[in-house]
Chain A
Amino acid sequence: MRTLRYQRPEGVEAAVSAVNATPGARYLGGGTNLVDLMKLGVETPDLLVDVSGLPHHDIEELPGGGVRIGAAVRNSDLAADPLVRTRYPVVSQALLAGASDQLRNVATVGGNLLQRTRCLYFQDAGKPCNKRAPGTGCPAIEGVHRNLAILGASPHCVATHPSDLAVALAALDAQVLVEGGTGPREIPLTELHRLPGDRPERDTVLEHGDLITHVRLPAAPEAVNSAYRKARDRASFAFALSSVGAALEVRDGLVHRVRLALGGVAPKPWRARAAEERLRGAPATPEAFTRAVEAELSVAEPLRDNAFKVPLTRHLAVRVLCDLAGRAGGPR
Chain B
Amino acid sequence: MVALERELSEPAAPAISADAIPLRLRRQGGTPRQVLATMVIGTIVLALFASRDLASWTERLGDTPAVLAAQKIAAEWDQDMAALGLTRPHEALRDGLRRLLDLRWGSQR
Decide whether A and B are members of one complex: no
